[in-house]
């Protein structure tokens, strides 16, 4: 009789494009998101937690424009008795679910509806360094008003959020542009309703950050050689046709009034372009009234990312301080947030235009920025560890740890094999514990405890002389009744 085949053990590997987050990272993210939520709540926004799964139909045109409905998302088909069923997908972002929620519950929701949402989203894209298939987003949106006050408020809230989490004024800038102004530029170019030409121009404008003014000019006209030496075909416009785009992209001036004047020249007689400039004027005036100057928020036509998606104002938060990249070169940290007005999203469900505007913060990028600024500790402090000198006295140690916890101090009893005391201290070091509490039989009999300051002990061990070691002991003997007070005193001195 053949021996049954042994089932191979599964490989303990993270799926490609995904990663695991451990205690400190999770705690830091939770703390930052709570600080952001506090700002949003202060502005009158309500929390919304929608389903992680949507129908592909609900995600709709905001999926990549391809034949397969599951391209770009993690999707599956629910099969019924006829082998047919709805296509379902993990949410691609937090905006499309908002459109579905508002359309579904609009009769029960206030108008305007102000909501914020935080959580993971999933994209079935090719992973790369720092690019994952699951990541966190943090959104705030106002649905149901066309007032530019909603857009100005989002920009102000974004500014306040960055400062609240630890990005100081001067290290960031919220930059504002308007899709309508670009539409006016396209009209001034004489492209009319030529959708292909307009899309080609939009794609070229999106490359402005990478190739600059000269590169965009070449790509709009005859084409250009890229850095590898390959020739990229141009859109085929004449120099005169390309000029309004260049004027639009380079219209940023010393002050807002001059910038707007340059934009008026770029859009010519276009009505939609003039409407966009008027909206930028309104936003600027509202922000000035709220005390948000150009050192925090400014009108900047070079903001071009997302212009294909949004229908009106667009905004981007850029961190302006310098970091070193992986090759040791200095560069600006860059964008951590983007958003804008999207008046067509809910219309897909209701048939009626519902104005909406909102912003999304890249959670992982903002966390990385806070680490760069030293606003988040490189290593989180662990719990106080109560060591076990006698396994038969576990109830005594549980009483000690309960007393510490009841006083609001993070603490745990060592639950490994207590035979080797050195291993208990090694465990405490691995946990980055600030203090170890020791109560052996003699200490118990004498009504005292030993408290070991592990942070100070490590510092002394690094550099202290013998005399300094004697003068600055890192282990204290205190009456049992003074345990909590002494632990708190040491923790306060370590901050």
- pLDDT (tens digit per residue) in 176-223: 999 999 889 888 887 767 777 778 888 888 788 788 888 888 888 888
Q: What is the mean pLDDT of residues 8-23?
A: 90
pLDDT, greater one: 154 or 82: 154
Task: Please give the DSSP secondary-structure letter assigned to residue 4.
Answer: P
State the Cα–Cα distance between residues 44 and 472, nearest whole angstrom. Answer: 52
Percentage of the chain beyond pLDDT 90 is 52
Q: What is the mean pLDDT of residues 416-431?
A: 90
State the Cα–Cα distance between residues 266 and 277, nearest whole angstrom. Answer: 11
- Return the SS3 of 32: helix
Q: What is the mean pLDDT of residues 460-481?
A: 67
| Alpha helix stretches (DSSP H) within 447-482 | 454-463, 466-471
Task: Please give the DSSP secondary-structure letter assigned to residue 254.
Answer: S
What lies within 8 Å, CB to CB, of 255 at 6+ separation is 294
CA nearest neighbour of 177 among 263, 286, 292: 263
pLDDT value at residue 65? 46
329 burial via Cβ count (<10 Å: 0-12, 13-18, 19+): exposed
Among 40-49, 456-465, 475-484, top mean pLDDT goes to 40-49
Whether pLDDT at 397 is above 90: yes
Is 385:431 a contact under the CB 8 Å cutoff? yes
What lies within 8 Å, CB to CB, of 221 at 6+ separation is 234, 235, 236, 237, 238, 239, 242
- Return the SS3 of 164: helix
pLDDT, greater one: 129 or 434: 434
Distances (CA, A) of 206 to 220, 234, 357, 364, 418: 12, 14, 21, 23, 62
Long-range contact list for 164-168, CB < 8 A, 24+ apart? Answer: 164/35, 164/36, 164/38, 164/39, 165/32, 165/35, 165/36, 165/366, 165/370, 165/375, 166/370, 166/373, 166/375, 166/376, 167/319, 167/369, 167/370, 167/373, 167/375
State the Cα–Cα distance between residues 156 and 153, nearest whole angstrom. Answer: 5
State the Cα–Cα distance between residues 495 and 492, nearest whole angstrom. Answer: 5
Is 32:165 a contact under the CB 8 Å cutoff? yes
Is 125:72 a contact under the CB 8 Å cutoff? yes
CA nearest neighbour of 305 among 226, 247, 360: 360
E strand map for 160-238: 172-178, 223-225, 231-233
* Tens-digit pLDDT profile for residues 295-350: 999 999 888 777 677 899 999 999 998 776 666 677 778 889 999 999 888 888 99
* φ, ψ of residue 219 in degrees (nearest 5): -70, -30
CA nearest neighbour of 418 among 385, 455, 384, 453: 385
Task: Please give the DSSP secondary-structure letter assigned to residue 229.
Answer: S
pLDDT value at residue 373? 82
What mean pLDDT, rounded, does the chain reach? 87
- Return the SS3 of 121: strand
Is 336:317 a contact under the CB 8 Å cutoff? yes
pTM: 0.83
pLDDT value at residue 98? 95
pLDDT value at residue 325? 63
């Amino acid at each position: 009789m053949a021996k049954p085949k042994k089932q191979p053990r599964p490989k303990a590997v993270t799926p490609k494009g995904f990663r695991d987050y451990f205690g400190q990272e999770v705690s830091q993210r939770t703390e930052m998101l709570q600080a952001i939520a506090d700002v949003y709540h202060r502005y009158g926004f309500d929390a919304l937690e929608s389903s992680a799964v949507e129908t592909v139909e609900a995600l709709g045109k905001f999926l990549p424009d391809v034949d397969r409905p599951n391209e770009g998302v993690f999707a599956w088909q629910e099969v019924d008795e006829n082998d047919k069923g709805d296509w379902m997908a993990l949410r691609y972002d937090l905006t499309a679910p908002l459109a579905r929620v508002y359309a579904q519950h609009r009769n029960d929701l206030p108008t305007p509806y102000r909501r914020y949402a935080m959580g993971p989203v999933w994209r079935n894209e090719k992973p790369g360094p720092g690019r994952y298939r699951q990541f966190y987003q943090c959104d705030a949106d106002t649905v149901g008003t066309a007032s530019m006050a909603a857009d100005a408020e989002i920009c102000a809230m974004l500014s306040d959020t960055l400062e609240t989490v630890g990005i100081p004024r001067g290290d960031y800038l919220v930059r504002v542009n308007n899709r309508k102004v670009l539409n006016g530029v396209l009209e001034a170019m004489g492209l009319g309703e030529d959708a292909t030409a307009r899309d080609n121009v939009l794609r070229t404008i999106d490359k402005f950050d990478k190739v600059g003014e000269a590169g965009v000019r070449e790509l709009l006209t005859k084409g250009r050689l890229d850095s590898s030496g390959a020739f990229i075909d141009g859109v085929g416009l004449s120099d005169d046709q390309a000029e309004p785009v260049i004027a639009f992209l380079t219209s940023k001036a010393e002050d807002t009034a001059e910038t707007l004047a340059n934009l008026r020249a770029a859009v010519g007689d276009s009505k939609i372009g003039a409407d966009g400039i008027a909206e930028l004027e309104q936003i600027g005036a509202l922000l000035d009234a709220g005390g948000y100057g150009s050192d925090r928020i400014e009108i900047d036509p070079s903001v071009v990312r997302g212009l294909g998606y949004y229908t009106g104002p667009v905004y981007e938060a850029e961190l302006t301080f310098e970091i070193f990249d992986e090759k040791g070169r200095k560069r600006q940290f860059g964008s951590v947030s983007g958003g804008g007005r999207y008046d067509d999203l809910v219309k897909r469900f209701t048939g009626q235009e519902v104005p909406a505007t909102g912003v999304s913060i890249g959670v992982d990028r903002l966390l990385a920025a806070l680490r760069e600024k030293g606003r988040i500790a490189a290593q989180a402090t662990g719990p106080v560890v109560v060591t076990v000198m006698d396994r038969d006295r576990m109830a005594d140690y549980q009483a000690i740890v309960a007393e510490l916890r009841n006083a609001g101090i993070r603490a745990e009893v060592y639950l490994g094999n207590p035979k080797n005391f050195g291993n208990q201290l090694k465990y405490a070091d691995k946990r980055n514990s600030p203090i170890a509490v020791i109560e052996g039989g003699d200490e118990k009999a004498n009504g005292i405890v030993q408290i070991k300051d592990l942070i100070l002990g490590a510092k002394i061990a690094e550099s202290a002389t013998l005399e300094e070691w004697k003068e600055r002991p890192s282990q204290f003997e205190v009456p049992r009744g003074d345990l909590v007070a002494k632990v708190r005193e040491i923790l306060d001195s370590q901050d």
